[in-house]
Amino acid sequence: MDGAAAPLSATPPAAGPAGSASPAPAAGPGPADGPPPAAHEGAQQPTGTEVPSDESFSFDHTRMEAQDQDLQQPEVLNGRHRHERLRQSSRMLIGGDLVSGDKLVMMLGGREPAPLQRLSTQLSEPVRHAFLPPQEWESTRAALEARRLVILRADPCQGKTIAAIRLLQSPSDRPIYNLDRSVDLRAFAGWLDQDARSEQPLPRGAGFLLCEPVGWDDVRGWMLQQLEAALERIDARFVLALSTESVLRDEDVREYVVPLGRAQPHRDILVSHLTWRLDGDAELAAGLLAGTALNTYVTDLCRPQVSLKVPADLAVVISQERTDDGVDLDRIRQRMTERHTGDLGIWFDKLPDLPSRCLAIALAVLNGLSYESVVRAADRLVARLDGPAAGFAGAQPVALRPWHDPFRFSRRELARRLRAEIRPATVRGTWGPVTVDTIQYAADGYPAQVLNHVWREFQIHRELLDWLLDLASDVNEDVHTWAGTALGVLSRHAFDFVYAQVLHPMAIAPHNWRNGEVVAYALRVPAADERTRPLVKAVVNGLYTNSASPTGQATAARVHGVSLGPHGAQEALMALDRLATIDHRDIAVGIADGLTDLIMQDEQRNVPMVIERVSSWLHDRRRTLVGQFIFLRLALSLTTEKTVSTPTDGARRSITWPTLLELADQRRQLRPALVGMWSEVLLSGAFNRLVERALVAWARLAEASAPVRTPFCGLLVDIAARGAWAEQTVRRLSTDWRAPDNLYPTPQTAYAVEAALDARNDLS
C-alpha cells in the first residue's frame, strides 16, 4: 500500500550487486532533521545551536544507508516546473535566457551564436491588438503568402516595422524572431540549415524580422535566393523592412520588393492604441481626447512627418496618466519629453515617497508575479529602509500604526505611477492552476534598468542584498526563483561584492537546502556571459574541492547543472560523476537536481548521456548507493506534459507522463537501461520507501491516462521477467495499489499490471 514500510523484495537473491547495502530495516524512528517538506519551505531552519539528542550521536542521517530510515525525506520538486520558472524569471527580469551584456543572443543549433532574439511582447502585443491596416493591405499580405521572403519598402514614418510584424502574425501563434541589424545575410541561410539539423532546432513555421540592415549595400539577389530556399525547408517566413531611401543595387533584389501603402492618419492610430490600452473602451478614449487643450497638443505632436511610434507612445502615456478627473496635460507633455532625456532616472526620482520607490524596486525583482506577492515584498523592503515609526506612551516607545496611509493610492493609481500593467493570468499554484492578477512593467526593459539604476545611484547595497536574501527563503517558489535571478543581475555590476556578501555564505550554510538552489539560480546569469563565466568557474571550483563543506559541494553540483551545464553538458556531467563518490545525502540531492537541470536544458541530447552515466553508477561499488538514490529522485522529479486529441470527438487534452518512461517509450534504445535501473533498486532493498514512493507516483500517472498505463505495465512486466523475486515484488505492489485500505488507490493500473503478468506467464 502507498507509504508501506515493508521491504519491497519478497524473496530477493542472496547477494546483491557489488557494494550494495543490505536491505534497510522495515521501520524505525529515524531522525527527522532532513530538509523540510514542501509545506514548510521557507520556515525558520535550525541554526546549528540546538542540543542534539542521544540518538543523534549514534545515527548519521547524511549517509546514504540511513535514508530509508529517515521519515522526513528530502523534498523532491518537479524538475520541469522548476526549469519553467527559471526561464520565465529570465524573460521577465532580463529579457531572455542567455545574456551577453544586456543583449540576448540565441544559440542556433544549441552551439553557434546567431544575432536574433524572440520578438518582445512590448512590440508584438500593441501591433496584434491596435494595428490599423494601411492602404492596399490585402495585396501586401498576399505577397507574403505567395513567397517566403519579401522586402517591405516604405517611405519614412509610414510604419514599415509594425506592418512587417503584423504580416508575420498570421497565423497568430507564429513565433517571431527579431534579427540584429548587423546580421550577415550570406551566412544566415547556413545558420538555419545547421539549426534544422540540430537536436534543439527553432520551431517550424517561425517568422524572421529584419529592419534596415547595416550591410544592405552588399546584399545581392543570390543571397536572398539561398535564404528563401533555407526558409522553405523549415516552413518559415522572412520580412525585411526597408526605407525607400535605401538604394536597390541589384536588379535581382527587386523581385522581392513589396511596396507598403500609405499609413492611416496619426490621430486614428492614437485612437486605436488608446482604446486598446483602456481595455476596449472606445467611449472612454473618445472622451479623454475630446478636450480642446489635449486635441491641440495631439495635432501639434502628431505631424505627418512624425514616426507612427509617437501616437502609440502617446496612447501609453495618456492611459497611465489618466485619473477619475480626466488627464493632466502638463504631466502628459512632461512624460513625452522625458522619453528622450534620461526617462527612467527622472521617473524613479520623482516617485512621491519611499513606499512607491520600494514598490518600483519590488516590481523590478518580481516582475510578472502576482500583485499580492509584489506588494508584500515591497512592504518588507520598506521595513528595512524605513523601520517602524515610533512614538512615546509615557517613558515607553510604542509603534504608531499606520505610519503609511494604506488608502493613499488605489491599485490602479499605483500601476499608473509605476508605468505598469495589471493582467489576469492562469498560473500553476500549489494545488493546481489558479487565476491571479499579475503586475509587470509595460516596457520590457524596465526591470533590469530599475535594478541597475537603484544599485548604481543609491547607497542601499547592504539593505538591498539583505532584502533579496529574505525573499530567497520565501515559501513561494516563484518569489525565491525570481529573487535568485535578481541577485544574478546585480552580480553583473559587482560580482565580488555580491558573492562575498550573500552568495558564498548561502552556498555553505547548512540546514537549508534551498540556499544552494538560489545560489545556482543567481550564478546562472553571470555564467551566461563569456566575460564573467570564468569568475563563476573559479568560485565553483572553490566550493567543489572543499571537502570540509559538503553543503558547498552540494551547491557546486547545482551550479554545474543549472549554470554551467548550458555551456558544456559533458564537462558538467564529468564534474557530477566525481562528486558521486561521496557518501552524503545533500551532495546526492545536489547531483540529482543538477542532472535534472541538464535533462531539461536539452532532453534529446542530454538524456542518453545522463541515463548511461547513472546506470553505470549502479554497478560501481563506490557510487552504487548514491546512484540508486539519484535515479529514484530523477524518477520522481521529471514529468512531461503532452497534448493529444481525443479519438472520439477530437478534443485536445493534456497527458502527464513520467519523463523517463515517455523517453524510453519513444526511444527504445533507452528501455534496457531503464528496466535495469529499476531492477537494481528493487533488488538492493536500500531505499524501499523511496522506491515505493516513485512507483506509486508513476502508477498514479498511469491511472489517469491509458496511453501512460500501457508502457508502464510493459515496464513492470520486463522487470518481473528478471526473476521470481522480481515478479513477487511487482505483484505485491499491484495488490497494494488496489487494496481496500489504500486511500489513494490505482485499481485500473493494478489490474492492468496483473493481467499483463498473467499474459506473459501464459506465453512462457
**pLDDT 10s digits, 142-177:** 988 888 999 999 988 889 999 999 999 999 889 999
Res. 350 pLDDT band, cuts 50 70 90: confident
Share of the chain above pLDDT 70, in %: 83
| Mean pLDDT within 216-225 | 90
Rounded to an integer, what is the distance from CA 450 to the centroid of its chain? Answer: 21
- pLDDT at site 305: 74
Residue 622 has pLDDT above 50, yes or no: yes
**C-alpha angle 227-228-232 in degrees, rounded to nearest 5:** 120
The rounded distance, in Å, linking the Cα atoms of 380 and 342 is 29
**Start-end ranges of CATH 3.40.50.300 in the chain?**
133-259
Contact 438, 420 (CB under 8 A): no
Task: Give residue 619's pLDDT.
Answer: 92
- For residue 586, the model assigns a pLDDT of 92
Average pLDDT score over residue span 1-14: 42
Report the DSSP pairing between strands 396-399 and 639-645. Answer: unpaired
CATH class of 133-259: alpha beta
Please give the pLDDT value at position 56.
40
Q: Which of 180-184, 318-322, 495-499 has the lowest mean pLDDT?
A: 180-184
Residue-level length of the chain: 764
Confidence of residue 560 (pLDDT cuts 50, 70, 90): very high
pLDDT-based confidence at residue 363 (cuts at 50, 70, 90): very high
Which of these, 148, 154, 166, lies nearest to 224 by C-alpha position?
A: 148
Region of poorest pLDDT, from 58-67, 321-330, 450-459: 58-67
Spatial neighbors of 574 by CB under 8 A, at least 6 apart, are none
Q: And the C-alpha cell for 456?
A: 548604481
Q: Model confidence at 22, in pLDDT bands (50, 70, 90)?
A: very low
What does residue 118 show for φ and ψ, rounded to 5 degrees? -65, 135
Tell me if 672 sits within 8 A of 610, measured CB to CB. Answer: no
| Least confident among 32-36, 120-124, 199-203, 349-353 | 32-36
Residue 398 pLDDT > 70? no
C-alpha–C-alpha distance, residues 215 and 187, integer Å: 13
Per-residue confidence at 404, pLDDT binned at 50, 70, 90? low
Res. 603 pLDDT band, cuts 50 70 90: confident
Sign of CA dihedral 273, 277, 313, 332: positive
pLDDT of 477 above 80: yes
Residue 392: burial class (beta carbons within 10 Å; 0-12, 13-18, 19+): exposed
Cell 515517455, residue located? 662
Which of 77-81, 140-144, 307-311, 631-635 has the weakest average pLDDT? 77-81
Identify which of 668, 663, 666, 681 has the alpha carbon closest to the alpha carbon of residue 722.
681
Higher pLDDT, 699 or 480: 699
Q: Which residue has the higher pLDDT, 153 or 42?
A: 153
Segment 491-508 shows an average pLDDT of 94
**Residue 481 phi, psi dihedral angles, 5° rounding:** -70, -45
DSSP letter assigned to residue 501: I
Binning pLDDT at 50, 70 and 90, where does residue 400 land?
low
- For residue 238, what is its C-alpha cell? 522572412
- Distance, in Å, from the CA atom of 603 to the CA atom of 595, rounded to the nearest integer, reads 11
pTM: 0.68
* Residue 45, pLDDT above cutoff 70: no
At 693 the pLDDT is 92
Give the tens place of pLDDT for each residue, 628-662. 999 999 999 999 888 777 766 667 788 899 999 99
The pLDDT value recorded for residue 396 is 62
Q: Which of 232, 236, 217, 133 is nearest to 177 (CA)?
A: 236
Residue 484 has pLDDT above 50, yes or no: yes
Question: What mean pLDDT is reported for the chain?
Answer: 83
Q: Which of 9-18, 181-190, 522-531 has the lowest mean pLDDT?
A: 9-18
- Provide CB contacts within 8 A for 676, sequence distance 6+: 615, 618
Q: How far is CA 94 from CA 91, 107, 426, 482, 520, in A?
A: 6, 17, 22, 11, 16
Task: Provide the pLDDT for residue 545.
Answer: 95
The cell numbers describing 612, all together, are 548511461
Q: Quick one: average pLDDT of 654-682?
A: 92
Cβ neighbours, 10 Å, residue 743? 8
Q: Check residue 521 and give its pLDDT.
A: 93
Which residue carries 521519515 as its cell?
Answer: 71
Res. 323 pLDDT band, cuts 50 70 90: confident
User: What pLDDT does 173 receive?
Assistant: 87
- Once rounded to an integer, what is the mean pLDDT over residues 254-276? 93
Contact 438, 373 (CB under 8 A): no
**pLDDT band per the 50, 70, 90 thresholds, residue 47:** very low
The average pLDDT across 379-385 equals 91
Q: Does pLDDT of 543 surpass 50?
A: yes
Q: What is the mean pLDDT of residues 332-351?
A: 74
pLDDT band of residue 413 (cuts 50, 70, 90) is confident
Q: Cα torsion for 154, 443, 447, 419, to the nearest 10°?
A: 150
Going by pLDDT thresholds of 50, 70 and 90, the confidence category of residue 401 is low
* Residue 215 dihedral angles phi and psi, to the nearest 5°: -95, 35
- CA pair distance 105, 372, nearest whole angstrom: 33
Q: When comparing pLDDT for 428 and 606, which is higher?
A: 606
Amino acid at 350: K
pLDDT over 90 (residue 486): yes
